[in-house]
Structure 1
């Protein structure tokens, strides 16, 4: 696995910041379970509409006693159908908490350039016959980007057993497309009209738990089978260059489907990303109300 380049933010930067518990206490979100701190509140998942108990911090000693923690949470938040608990990247996950989201930081062996042009365009030749371009999306490119984002949101929800949520998904797409810090990069094959892939990022993302600004890789997808591996790597490199220009880490995430026969279907995807220079920073785990 690649080490983080000198001067790059460490994955450990996503640990709970010193002032976070104080701020949570002032907001009325800090409580104690068995004398140990927990930051939890009720949260409506925007795509599925599920009312969740979202735990942004729990003392590691409580996470190790997950059944007791979950029992306390569900007694306090009686209308919540599930609990979602944030875990630091290096903390072992108890069996009672299913994988939901894994966040990873891109840590290439060599740091990308920090200069970011106002627009981006480059050409890659992968064989004598095949060439593709990476260009920054323009206003009239929103339609294919919207389709890809909608597909990613719908597929992630369906893999968690949610078959509805079309309205919530459409709203989430609209919010992404209209975010002032949203940037999208497209893969184009010369001579074809429609792009064959994209990467969409938010450049002003912020993790309040760790007090960490970052660039969020919201979605990346290449529909062309022949180009997928090389074009995906090129898109990641462009996004990393943008993040470096902002002086912040590039963070992406893997959404985990429901377990299959006790196995995590996304474990292989996380392992593959780690081999390509991604380092887990933190995770969200899920437990349904008994």
Structure 2
């Protein structure tokens, strides 16, 4: 049976690489649950400060038995308030694991149209452009934390923004309207990102936002195209992610965003799912 679009693997597979379990074992992060491998460790979420049990790999048979996996994790990591479990893109997610982050690769079916008239221009950010980029990054981080119910101090978010702005591989692109001084949108990428689980270098689309309602659709497409060109220069996939808010009325508010991205040519690579300690 041919895979459906929902089940088709990403062109850049983000499953566990051959040497990953061996390296995790040498680092003391590999353990067994019912005889099946799990790579897990304690992790302080940098923005919220929450102590999580981060599972970068679990045997799919264990993920299907999520209550067994979670019980073992919370017994072994007694100070963790939650578990975050990585799932390969096509693997079904059990109900006990709620959406947290969905990673997608930019795989457009055809190149975007060129030569269409626009009322804006895309420029690469210069040294003096950090202020608006910092505001947009701060908004994205604060909004994502608030959507997960974290409304406390913002020092973690401010530190995350500083790290992004000073990262040597950061590149930002700005949307500018001729005749106006301030940019109306940005896309920020990290060109030397690396996924150690799958041994995959990639270009990470950290954030993209256009404040001008009338320009949002076309300017966003132009920003994505600029980021895709930067990834192509490095022969690396362009990967972005969607943060999932807490469920509302039992529904995932970000599911429609993921569906829209898929229609635009983005393909899921892997996901992180979340479970609070009972």
Structure 2 length-normalised TM: 0.95
Shift of 1:10: 4.4
Cα distance 1:237–1:64, how it changes in 2: closer, same or farther (>3 A)? same
Which SS does the other structure have where 2:146 is aligned?
Answer: helix
Deviations 1:64-104 (A, max 9, x none): 00001000000000000000000000000000000000000
Which SS does the other structure have where 1:101 is aligned?
Answer: strand
Shift of 1:109: 2.0
Kindly indicate whether residue 171 of structure 2 is the aligned counterpart of residue 183 of structure 1.
Answer: yes
114, 117, 123: which one aligns with 1:125: 117
CA contact (8 A) 1:145 1:198 kept: yes
Matches of 2:10 and 2:196 in 1, distance apart? 16
Matches of 1:110 and 1:209 in 2, distance apart? 30
Cα distance 1:20–1:106, how it changes in 2: closer, same or farther (>3 A)? same
Unaligned 5+ residue runs, structure 2? none
CA contact (8 A) 2:10 2:268 kept: no
Kindly indicate whether residue 163 of structure 2 is the aligned counterpart of residue 163 of structure 1.
Answer: no
In the alignment, which residue of structure 2 is the partner of 1:234?
222
Deviations 1:121-170 (A, max 9, x none): x99623xxxx1000000010000000000000000000000001400000
Shift of 1:250: 0.1
134, 137, 153: which one aligns with 2:122: 134
195, 199, 202: which one aligns with 2:190: 202
Which SS does the other structure have where 1:162 is aligned?
Answer: coil
Matches of 2:42 and 2:215 in 1, distance apart? 43
Unaligned 5+ residue runs, structure 1? 4-8, 113-121
Matches of 1:44 and 1:252 in 2, distance apart? 22
Cα distance 1:198–1:275, how it changes in 2: closer, same or farther (>3 A)? same
Kindly indicate whether residue 277 of structure 2 is the aligned counterpart of residue 285 of structure 1.
Answer: no
In the alignment, which residue of structure 1 is the partner of 2:60?
60
Structure 1 length-normalised TM: 0.91
Matches of 1:228 and 1:273 in 2, distance apart? 15
RMSD: 1.6
Cα distance 1:203–1:123, how it changes in 2: closer, same or farther (>3 A)? farther
Matches of 2:111 and 2:24 in 1, distance apart? 35
Matches of 1:101 and 1:256 in 2, distance apart? 6
In the alignment, which residue of structure 2 is the partner of 1:267?
255
Cα distance 1:123–1:138, how it changes in 2: closer, same or farther (>3 A)? farther
Q: Which stretch shows the higher mean deviation, 12-21 or 279-288?
A: 12-21
Matches of 1:286 and 1:12 in 2, distance apart? 24
Q: Give aligned pairs, total.
A: 270
Which SS does the other structure have where 2:13 is aligned?
Answer: helix
